Structure 1
Amino acid sequence: MPKYNRTFDLTLNDIELLEAALRVVERDLSLGREGARALLPAAQGEDHTSDIVELLGRLHNQKEFYRPNNGPYVSG
Structure 2
Amino acid sequence: MPSFNRRFDLSIADVELIEEALRARGRELCRMRRALSDDTPADLESIRVVEQDQRTGEELLGRLHDQKIFYRPKAETYVSG
Work out the CA distance in 2 between the residues paired with 1:23 and 1:2. Answer: 32
Deviation at 1:29, TM superposition (A): 0.8
Work out the CA distance in 1 between the residues paired with 2:27 and 2:3. Answer: 32
Mind listing any 5+ residue stretches in structure 2 that lack a counterpart? 34-47
Deviates more, 1:13-22 or 1:24-33: 24-33
Q: Which residue of 1 aligns with 2:2?
A: 2
Percent identity (aligned): 52
Higher helix share: 2
Q: CA RMSD in A?
A: 1.7
Deviation at 1:11, TM superposition (A): 0.5
Q: 4+ runs of 1 displaced by more than 6 Å?
A: none
Work out the CA distance in 2 between the residues paired with 1:62 and 1:69. Answer: 21
* TM-score (normalizing by structure 1): 0.75
Q: How many equivalent residue pairs? A: 65
The question of 1:48 aligning with 2:53 is answered: yes
Higher Cα Rg, which structure: 2
Mind listing any 5+ residue stretches in structure 1 that lack a counterpart? 34-44
